[in-house]
């Protein structure tokens, strides 16, 4: 639900009451605030996890999903920078002029004074850290520390060579606390190592840890130990590399969970797992990385959903996701639409923060949905604008307005047709007009291209 349709400003009294209602939390006691771990895979497709019957083995993710809350309609953006911007701010990324990946040597970044989830949790006494992919500013001066993170480690760009940690044009990207560093090792291992070190540090304060893995985004580079299990089952070499990188990711998440368990932190840590967008179909370039990587004719798998990364179809914006909080949530499946915009208000509430109207949050507190109360949260209205194509989702009805000149709008009833096989635009012109009005209202909230 957008901010205009669902005001999120609530009084401190209401926040305390909501916090008290949460299992395991005590109202008015900041020590009861849970740790929050956000894990983001890069370009992971819907059908690329074991619990969606994939040919890739993901035992850690499968176990967490089975015991937690599976989000069967978790929506993000079709590309990475917009999703990360929306997750961090609780606002549609087009409000900041972020429509697609911040790439090459762009000076674009999240506006400096933007209210962020990290800043809000920090004000509530959390230690905040971001390890891995940032992609909301490609230079140290617009790194994560400027936006509320105490500690940072990883890379600024949207993709890197897994071993040299250089961007596709050769630029440096790897950093610690927003200052360039050079290190050896596979990015997945280095990011997991840093997260484990963070989790083993003794502290009294709760933590907010954002771990953005570099895989399975291309270039996919994996050691034989990750490839070996798929030599017989996956014949396509590029798909095998992709599968190996997902298996590597799963093992890295397993290390984080094991560390939490050893430190007796698991029962007081909420884990959100998601992908930043749907799987990419293929990739080929003779110039990037000096032509050392690829081509990759087969990467992700979004079946049975239609479409790929970069598209407004479900395969581009609906991703595998779940919330794990042992003893507090699950096991259950949430069939209602939940989005990347919902996590700011949800986590802020868990921390006992008062959400201010001036933050202009556009997500909803989905805590009741996670606890099994299907009626307590209004249906979502979601809006996408990638600079060319636009889309709006209102309940089960989705309208896509392609950016191609002369291309007609497309209408889908996701309740009956989640694979988007039947375009109903011609049969339901009134519904198209209703959604066009919602779309126009949303687009008015975006800055004009000249600003």
Residues belonging to the active site = 80, 135
DSSP SS3 for 20: helix
Instruction: Kindly state the tokens that stand for 266.
Output: 């698991």
Round to whole Å and give the CA distance between 445 and 333: 33
User: If you search the block for the tokens 């797992």, which residue do you land on?
Assistant: 273
Structural element, H or E, at residue 246: helix 237-262
Closest CA to 173 of 146, 215, 134, 130: 134
Cβ proximity of 79 and 100 under 8 Å: yes
DSSP states along 111-170 = -TT---HHHHHHHTT-EEEEEEE--SBSSGGGSGGGGT-SEEEEESSS---TTT-B-TTS
Round to whole Å and give the CA distance between 367 and 345: 9
Q: What angle do CA 203, 204, 206 make, to 5 degrees?
A: 90
Q: What angle do CA 180, 186, 191 make, to 5 degrees?
A: 65
Closest CA to 76 of 353, 378, 377, 305: 305
Torsion region of 307: left, alpha or beta (phi above 0 gives left; psi -120 to 50 gives alpha): left
């Amino acid at each position: 639900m957008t901010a205009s349709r669902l005001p999120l400003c609530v009084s401190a009294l209401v926040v305390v009451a909501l916090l008290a209602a949460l299992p395991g939390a005590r109202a008015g006691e900041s020590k009861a605030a849970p740790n929050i771990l956000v894990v983001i895979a890069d370009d992971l497709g819907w059908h690329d996890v074991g619990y969606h019957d994939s040919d890739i083995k993901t035992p850690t993710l499968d176990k967490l999903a089975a015991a937690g809350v599976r989000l069967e309609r978790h929506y993000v953006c079709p590309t990475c920078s917009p999703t990360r911007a929306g997750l961090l701010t609780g606002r549609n990324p087009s409000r900041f002029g972020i429509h697609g990946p911040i790439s090459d040597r762009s000076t674009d970044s999240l506006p400096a004074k933007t209210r962020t989830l990290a800043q809000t949790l920090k004000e509530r006494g959390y230690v905040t850290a971001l390890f891995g992919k940032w992609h909301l500013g490609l230079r140290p001066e617009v790194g994560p520390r400027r936006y509320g993170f105490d500690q940072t480690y990883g890379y600024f760009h949207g993709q890197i060579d897994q071993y040299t940690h250089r961007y596709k044009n050769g630029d440096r990207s790897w950093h610690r606390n927003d200052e360039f560093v050079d290190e050896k090792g596979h990015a997945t291992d280095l990011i997991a190592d840093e997260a484990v070190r963070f989790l083993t540090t003794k502290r009294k304060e709760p933590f907010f840890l954002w771990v953005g893995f570099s895989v399975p985004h291309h270039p996919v580079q994996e050691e034989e130990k990750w490839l070996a299990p798929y030599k017989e089952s996956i014949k396509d070499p590029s798909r095998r590399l992709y599968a190996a990188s997902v298996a590597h990711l799963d093992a890295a998440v397993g290390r984080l969970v094991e560390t939490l368990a050893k430190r007796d932190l698991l029962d007081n840590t909420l884990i959100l797992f998601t992908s930043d967008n749907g799987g990419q179909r293929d990739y080929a370039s003779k110039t990037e990385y000096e032509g050392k990587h690829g081509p990759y004719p087969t990467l992700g798998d979004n079946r049975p959903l239609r479409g790929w990364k970069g598209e407004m179809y479900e395969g581009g914006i609906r991703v595998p996701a779940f919330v794990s909080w042992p003893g507090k949530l699950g096991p259950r499946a949430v069939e209602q639409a939940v989005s990347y915009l919902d996590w700011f208000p949800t986590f802020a509430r868990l921390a006992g923060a008062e959400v201010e109207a001036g933050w202009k949050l556009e997500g909803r507190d989905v805590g009741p949905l996670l606890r099994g109360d299907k009626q307590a949260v209004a249906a979502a209205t979601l809006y996408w604008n990638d600079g060319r194509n636009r889309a709006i989702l209102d309940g089960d009805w989705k309208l896509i307005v392609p950016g191609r000149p002369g291309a007609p709008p497309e209408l889908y009833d996701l309740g009956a047709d989640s694979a988007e096989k039947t375009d109903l635009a011609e049969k339901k012109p009134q519904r198209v007009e209703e959604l066009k009005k919602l779309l126009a209202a949303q687009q008015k909230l975006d800055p004009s291209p000249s600003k």
